Amino acid sequence: MARYFIELSYDGALYGGFQIQQNKATIQGELEKAMETLYRAPLTLTGASRTDAGVHANQNFLHFDTDIAILPKHIYNLNAILPNNIVVKAIYQVPSEAHCRFDAIKRGYIYRLHTQKNPFSEGRSWYYPFPVDLNLMQAAADTLLNYTDFESFSKKNTTVNTFQCNITKASWTMVGPDIRFEIHSNRFLRGMIRGLVGTMMQVGRGHISIAEWHDIVASKDEQRVDFSTPAYGLYLSEINYPNFLKKIG
C-alpha cells in the first residue's frame, strides 16, 4: 500500500472548518466525497493543519494510503468533481512513514486587512478603518521571536500537550490601503494568530503599550488577549516538508 500527499487550496468562507464535523460542510469532507466518487471506494484522509471555520488556505496538505493506482489525470478529475472553492493543486507519492502533520517543518500564515472600504475585499480581508501605528505593531511582532511559550494566545478548549512554538518570522507590511501580517513557525496553537493580530492591533491603536504587550505574552492568561479578529482575513499560506515529496506526473 502506497502513501500519498494531496496539496490543495480553498476559500473557507462557506465551510465549518477543515476537519470533518457532523452536520457541517468541511474541506476534508468535500475532498473525501470527491475521492470516493472518483475511486469508487472510501479513502481516509489525514490533514496537516486544521483551519477554523471561515479560514482560507493557499496551501494545505492531507495524506492517504491506497493500493489504487494514482494517475496525473486524477488531479483534473478531482477538480471537476469538487466545488469551485476547493482546488487540488498536486498529488505526491511519499515514503510510507511520512506524515503530513507531524513531518511539517514550517507553517506560514498571512492575515489581511484593508483600511478603505472595498467590495472586492469583503469577506476576504478585515476592514479596519481606524488609524494604527505600524511601527509599534512591528515592534510588538519583533518580540515574538524571543518567546517560545504562547499559552496566552491559545484558546483553552484545546488538547495540546505543549504551548511551545518556534516563531521564525513575524512582519507587518502596508501596501497602499492594505495591511498584511505574515508569520512563520514550526507550529501554531488554536486561535493563536487571530489572538496575536487582534492584540497587536490594540498596540497599534495605542491602547496597549509595548511593556503591557510583554506582560500579556508572559502572563499565560488568554483573557488578556483579543481573539475577536474575524476568521475571513486569515490564510494558511504555506507548509514546508523535508525533501521527500515526489509529484505524480
Active site residues: 52
The position carrying cell 514550517 is 106
Rounded distance, CA 67 to CA 180, Å?
43
Cα dihedral value 111, 113, 118, 119, nearest 10: 40
Strand partners, 65: 3
SS3 state at 137 = helix
- Amino acid letter for position 165: C
Strand partners, 60: 8
The position carrying cell 505526491 is 92
Rounded distance, CA 246 to CA 76, Å?
18
Strands (E), 67-190: 86-94, 106-114, 126-127, 167-175, 178-185
Q: Please give the C-alpha separations between residue 182 and each of 24, 66, 103, 127, 239, in angstroms, as whole numbers.
A: 29, 36, 22, 17, 13
Rounded distance, CA 184 to CA 60, Å?
14
